Amino acid sequence: MVCSFFFIGSSPSLSGSSSLSAMAEVQEKCLQITDNSEADQIAKGSNSMESSETITNQTRITHKANYKKWVKIFVYIIFLLLGQSVATLLGRLYFDKGGKSKWLGTLVQVAGFPIFLPYYIIRATKRRTNRNNISHTEQQPTLLKLALVYASLGLFLAADCYLFSIGLMYLPVSTYSLLSSSQLAFNAIFSFFLNSQKFTPSIINSLVVLTISSTLLVFQTESEGSAYNKASKAKYIIGFICTVAGSACYGLVLSLTQLFFNKLVKNESFKAIVDMIWFRSFFACLAIVVGLFVSGEWRGLKKEMNEFELGKVSYIMTVVWTAILWKVFTLGCVGLIFEVSSLFSNAVCVLGFPIVPVAAVFLFHDKMSGLKGVAMALAVWGFVSYVYQQYHDDFKSKKDPRSSL
């Protein structure tokens, strides 16, 4: 249109040849402008297509990463629920059939960490064959920092396991499991201060309900279950206090573990999870072995094995499988902390608690009293309230692409 206007507005006084020459130059410029405009449009279209393809590829990569993440989360949940339920029942079986050592009951909760040796061997073999592909750019915490963190967590874990061992020794397994659900409330409090956890109405409701659920069981002092469970009221109260204290300690350990992953660990890999389990358990194991020998309980272990109601082989298998299954539980627990949060990991623990009391009714003939049934219902309600909040957060993150799942 600019070219047409120029032709119309040109002076008629120009000579023929000059006019033709001018017109040719103008036409050439117009063609050049048109070509440039078309080139710009093509370039813009090409850039737009490339941008669209880049966004599509990024979306596919994100969806694939999220899919892998939730598959891992599902596997960790299975490990946690399976390990926790069966290990707790085996621990109760140990005390129910003649086991008397609190320190051995504590040791089996942490002593199974050597099962991860094959992982380290396989990883070391792969590392030797792929040395050129290893990145050394990631800044890792110093050896002294790691040692202090693992030692501190190990000592907390040793104290926690000892308290839980006393609780499992003096309480019916169903009561013990329901009391342990209070760890979610303690974990939420510690997460608020250590992990910047936000309190929402659903989470507050979950904490209140779980606290009421645990408190109800303090009134459950009548004799229950097998002959060994017929403990005095004093022993029941000791078991109650130790289980609640162990739950508080465990909530602290989970929050500190998440803090460690957030502040110190730079490489997001499975190795970070295994390292945490291995070294934390190693230091806890050292502390518990010292306690076992200082207390003198090690002297009675041989007699205990000989007098075990199910026989020597069953005694050894009970101890070994309890240790292994507690490490299966720990793998699921630490994995969920690494992938999501300590509070989510603890909420899944609480989900598994109702499984144990139901199984204990059939395996150890525990009474399912009305009070205990109410406590179990409240524990499930507390967990569902927390899951609702997790669903709500996940729904919001899907609506806002900038949010992470």
Cβ-contact 80, 349 below 8 angstroms = yes
What does the alpha-carbon distance between residue 318 and residue 266 come to, in Å, rounded to a whole number?
Answer: 38
Q: What is the mean pLDDT of the chain?
A: 78
Give which of 96, 117, 67, 75 is closest to 169, Cα–Cα.
96
Instruction: Name the helix (H) or strand (E) containing 192.
Output: helix 183-194
**Most trustworthy range by pLDDT among 91-100, 155-164, 200-209:** 155-164
What does the alpha-carbon distance between residue 259 and residue 338 come to, in Å, rounded to a whole number?
Answer: 10
Q: Give residue 155's region: left, alpha or beta (phi > 0; psi -120 to 50).
A: alpha
Look at 55-59, 115-119, 314-318 and tell me which has the smallest mean pLDDT: 55-59
What pLDDT, on a 0 to 100 scale, did the predictor assign at position 138?
54
Whether residue 389 has pLDDT greater than 80: no
The predicted model gives 385-403 an average pLDDT of: 59
Rg (CA), the chain: 33
What does the alpha-carbon distance between residue 297 and residue 372 come to, in Å, rounded to a whole number?
Answer: 34
Cβ-contact 5, 21 below 8 angstroms = no
What pLDDT, on a 0 to 100 scale, did the predictor assign at position 223?
42
Contacting residues for 159 by C-beta, under 8 A, at least 6 apart: 249
pLDDT top residue among 356 and 161: 161
User: What 8-state DSSP symbol labels residue 108?
Assistant: T
Residue burial 34-59, b: 16+ Cβ < 10 Å; e: rest: eeeeeeeeeeeeeeeeeeeeeeeeee
What pLDDT, on a 0 to 100 scale, did the predictor assign at position 245?
94
Whether residue 10 has pLDDT greater than 60: no
What pLDDT, on a 0 to 100 scale, did the predictor assign at position 339?
85
pLDDT in tens, 169-199: 888 877 787 788 778 778 888 888 888 877 7
pLDDT in tens, 253-276: 999 998 998 888 766 578 889 999
What does the alpha-carbon distance between residue 156 and residue 271 come to, in Å, rounded to a whole number?
Answer: 22
What does the alpha-carbon distance between residue 197 and residue 191 come to, in Å, rounded to a whole number?
Answer: 5
The secondary structure of 281-308 as a DSSP string is HHHHHHHHHHHHHHHTGGGGHHHHHHT-
Contacting residues for 195 by C-beta, under 8 A, at least 6 apart: 255, 258, 259, 262, 341, 342, 343
Q: How confident is the model at residue 229 (pLDDT cuts 50, 70, 90)?
A: very low
